[in-house]
Structure 1
Amino acid sequence: MFVSSRFTMRRAVATAGTTAALALTLAACGSAGGSASMPGMDHGTKRSASSSPSASSSMGDMPGMDHMADRNGLSDTQDGYRLVPKNATLPSGKQAAFRFSVTGPDGKPVTDFALDQTKRMHFYAIRSDLTGFQHIHPAMAPDGTWTADLAPLTPGSWRTFASFTPGAGPGKDKDLVLSRTVTVPGNATQTPLPAPATTAEADGYIVTVKGEPMAGMAHPLTVHVSKDGKPVTDLQPYLGTYAHLTAFHQGDQTFAHLHPTTEVDGDNGGPDLSFHAQLPTSGSWRLFLQFRTGGTLHTAALTLHVD
């Protein structure tokens, strides 16, 4: 499942590795679902981690090795900016606060951040098997320390992402995504990635995707949102858009965050959404699509295979 990008598709995606970033262009408004029955799939006030797996073999899963990753969202440094976490481990089974700062090229904590989709910082946490997704907006103290209040985590290796745009300095107006791994001690059980599918259900909403994207090629996709067999036409603005999409690549957790290009027009997004998707890497991607109806946030997860 894909979503779109904001009125200006400002943040193409922090996925560089050997190719360009994941770029999606949403022509219509809206997007669909997430299942409240899936723990850890909620945003903001309804965050909780899904039970599952253990560490992956990616270099990013080794604490302290993140700086060696390529510029694909898996590094803790980019263009002189650095993600500095206060936690190397987090407790299992209870709420925890993850604290971090972002230092600039001068080595000092950054305190000036530009708004992106109505927020100055988007923070994500996901297990190495792509379960337990959390997307929250942390609070910053005057000294530049951010605090992300995480819902209970299950044992295993987790990668945390900070997505932001400096409001001043050498990186002014540049979209950056930095990440670090943290360990949640305990007996970790791996959860297989769900098979690729063309539909996903979230709180009774059905999202249907048509299109077959190929790695490195722009490809059209169509998304239809329905409920009880009827088209949905009441998607509400969420973070200044009709939908929010985060994607992670299986195996290395490469990160992609896309924004809609069309402006919202009241509470009437949907039901048909048109996209152009350009996925730089073949393999399986786990997509988390978030949208709002009736004041309630929904999150749908879908596995997409790209040839």
Structure 2
Amino acid sequence: MPDQVSAAPDRSTLRLALAVGGLVLAVLLGFGLGRLNSGGAATAVGLETTDHTHPPGTAPHDHGAVADGSASTDAGGLAISAAGYTLAPLTTGFTAGRAEPFRFQIRDAQRRPVTRFAVVHDKPLHLIVVRRDLTGFQHLHPTMAPDGTWSVPLTLPQPGTWRAYADFTTVADTGAQTALTLGVDLTVPGRYDPRPLPAAATSTTVGGFTVEYAGTPQAGATVALTFRITADGATAPVERYLGAYGHLVALREGDLGYLHVHPESQLVDGAVRFSLTTPGPGRYRLYLDFQVAGVVRTAEFTVTVP
């Protein structure tokens, strides 16, 4: 009788198969957990968000970085389109003193609404609005519908031309991020009486607080600015706002070029420190948002850069 070959695998073959299967399963589980921990799967009202983080030890910087990673000296917000993206408002006309919805989309090079944004400073998009004489500063946070339309109630109190800046970071299918600030003019009919820019000063008061800054901005250089907030001579207990102890926007007089800078992650001897790169000489208006006892206030400064 011929020898019969058993159809059942021997024990060594079975052990090898189990080991290989276990290894494959571990790799798949690790990949899945890695995606969950990356933050890329977080979704809210159709918006895929990815936390925008900086490597440990990275110095504060603006989001206008050039290819080699150094700070850009170019101001943002001067154009409605850049890097293949366009700020597309649904309306640009407003009535003075009336709250009206401001709706817009961010569209890609194929004119498709973008719906994936990185969360930067606790929000996927920051909307800055100011009149062209640099008065009436507003820092708003629109909400996005599933079709990619952003909306926020907006009141423009005085006639004139206003500038709206959308500050955001898109997330591509590959995970690549593109940080941009795009700008568009809004119009309010009526007599426009522009106000002169206040004189340069390093100290101001707002809401019972005295805000002073130290540091001298220089054209084309990155300089540290330290803001100290006091009340009745004592350092105020500044709270985190938008994921940091302060939020600073700088606008250039004339063309309203936009600089968005970032603070140190911790207070420095009770003060808030930023790194500011000024693109060139001129006068700039600084707007510092800070929070104490749950209330956000804005301190404003005029800075002259020789």
Q: TM-score category by the smaller chain? A: 0.7 to 0.9
Question: Could you say which residue in structure 2 is the equivalent of 1:228?
Answer: 232
More moved, 197-206 vs 167-176: 167-176
Q: Deviation per CA, 1:132-161: give whole Å up to 9, x if none.
A: 111100011111111121124310001111
1:106 to partner: Cα distance: 2.5
1:274 to partner: Cα distance: 4.1
Q: How does 1:1-307 map to 2 (within 5 A)?
A: 12-14=62-64, 21=72, 72-169=76-173, 172-232=176-236, 234-263=237-266, 271-307=270-306
Check whether the contact 1:21–1:256 (CA below 8 A) recurs between aligned residues: no
Check whether the contact 2:229–2:235 (CA below 8 A) recurs between aligned residues: yes
Q: In 2, Cα distance between the equivalents of 1:10 and 1:220?
A: 9
Q: In 2, Cα distance between the equivalents of 1:160 and 1:273?
A: 26
Check whether the contact 1:126–1:133 (CA below 8 A) recurs between aligned residues: yes
Q: In 1, Cα distance between the equivalents of 2:169 and 2:61?
A: 9
Check whether the contact 1:225–1:270 (CA below 8 A) recurs between aligned residues: no
1:279 to partner: Cα distance: 1.1
SS at match of 1:117: coil
Q: In 2, Cα distance between the equivalents of 1:179 and 1:15?
A: 18
Q: In 1, Cα distance between the equivalents of 2:59 and 2:88?
A: 28
More moved, 164-173 vs 136-145: 164-173
Q: Deviation per CA, 1:48-98: give whole Å up to 9, x if none.
A: xxxxxxxxxxxxxxxxxxxxxx87321111111111111131111111111
Do the aligned partners of residues 169 and 282 (structure 1) sit closer, same or farther apart at CA in structure 2, a change above 3 Å counting?
farther
TM-score normalised over the length of structure 2: 0.74
Check whether the contact 2:263–2:273 (CA below 8 A) recurs between aligned residues: no
In structure 1, give the amino acid aligned to 2:150.
W
Aligned-pair RMSD on alpha carbons?
2.6
1:278 to partner: Cα distance: 2.6
Q: In 1, Cα distance between the equivalents of 2:165 and 2:277?
A: 22
Q: In 1, Cα distance between the equivalents of 2:225 and 2:75?
A: 27
In structure 1, give the amino acid aligned to 2:97.
G
Which runs of 5 or more residues in structure 2 are unaligned? Answer: 1-52
Check whether the contact 1:10–1:259 (CA below 8 A) recurs between aligned residues: yes
SS at match of 2:118: coil
| Percentage of pairs with the same residue | 37
Do the aligned partners of residues 102 and 276 (structure 1) sit closer, same or farther apart at CA in structure 2, a change above 3 Å counting?
closer
Q: In 1, Cα distance between the equivalents of 2:174 and 2:299?
A: 37
SS at match of 1:187: coil
1:168 to partner: Cα distance: 2.1
Do the aligned partners of residues 253 and 159 (structure 1) sit closer, same or farther apart at CA in structure 2, a change above 3 Å counting?
same
1:210 to partner: Cα distance: 2.3
In structure 2, give the amino acid aligned to 1:82.
T
In structure 2, give the amino acid aligned to 1:285.
Y
TM-score normalised over the length of structure 1: 0.74
Query: As a proportion of its length, which structure holds more helix?
Result: 2
In structure 2, give the amino acid aligned to 1:153.
P
Q: In 1, Cα distance between the equivalents of 2:277 and 2:75?
A: 18
Check whether the contact 1:20–1:280 (CA below 8 A) recurs between aligned residues: no
1:276 to partner: Cα distance: 4.0
In structure 2, give the amino acid aligned to 1:207.
V
In structure 1, give the amino acid aligned to 2:293.
G
Do the aligned partners of residues 209 and 263 (structure 1) sit closer, same or farther apart at CA in structure 2, a change above 3 Å counting?
closer
Q: In 2, Cα distance between the equivalents of 1:10 and 1:274?
A: 9
Check whether the contact 1:15–1:255 (CA below 8 A) recurs between aligned residues: no
SS at match of 1:246: strand
